[in-house]
Amino acid sequence: MKQKAHYNPKSTKQIISLIIMLVVSVAVVFGSIAIKNAVDKKNNESVDVGFTIAKTIPAAVQENELGVTGVERAFDSQNNVVAYVVKGTTTGYNAEAPIEMATTITADGKVVCGIDIIKQEETEYLGVRIATDDFKNQFTDKKLPVSSSNSIEKGSKIDVIAKSTISSQAVIDGVDNAAEYVKTFLVE
């Protein structure tokens, strides 16, 4: 005797529910990726600062825990403060010899105009590349904060040097510390 297949209305509802869950899940994933890409694009756009520094004048340094050791006010040709040059130290791979750097930040504390590595004793062939123009130029005209391209933190993305992430991250931290100093003590 042959039996007919039994139709179960619950199985159709379960299949429809499964399809709906899959569609919603895919939409959420692709929507999240689109939002992340839009935010990253906005953060990584270069900003034209539109001024030239005519002179700098040293300013008093407030006591801080950000590694800031010196500050200069930067003026344009009309004697307006347009930026701050913040000198400081940050610890890289060679903890015995901190990296000394200068970060120029717009007067509103929102954009990095550029950085310079004054002194460093990082590892030969790897960490020393933080002083190359290829690495330093990534910071020019970037919105603050900055962060490693390897991280999920908010901010303008900076590509770290392969096999030298500690030194690269130290410079990124130094820039963010300089920005924090400017926002805390200098922006009115």
Residue 115: CB partners within 8 Å, gap ≥ 6? 101, 102, 103, 104, 136, 139, 140, 171, 174, 175
Average pLDDT taken over every residue of the chain: 90
CB 149 within 8 A of CB 139: no
CA distance 116 to 130: 10
pLDDT tens across 62-120, in order? 999 999 999 999 999 999 999 999 999 999 999 999 999 999 999 999 999 999 999 99
Model confidence at 58, in pLDDT bands (50, 70, 90)?
Answer: very high
Q: Which of 79, 31, 27, 36 is CA-nearest to residue 56?
A: 79
Percent of the chain scored above 90 by pLDDT? 65
pLDDT tens across 21-55, in order? 888 888 888 888 777 777 666 666 777 878 999 99
Q: Which of 99, 177, 182, 109 is CA-nearest to residue 135?
A: 99
Q: Which of 57, 111, 104, 109 is CA-nearest to residue 85?
A: 104
CA distance 45 to 164: 25
Residue 140: CB partners within 8 Å, gap ≥ 6? 46, 112, 113, 114, 115
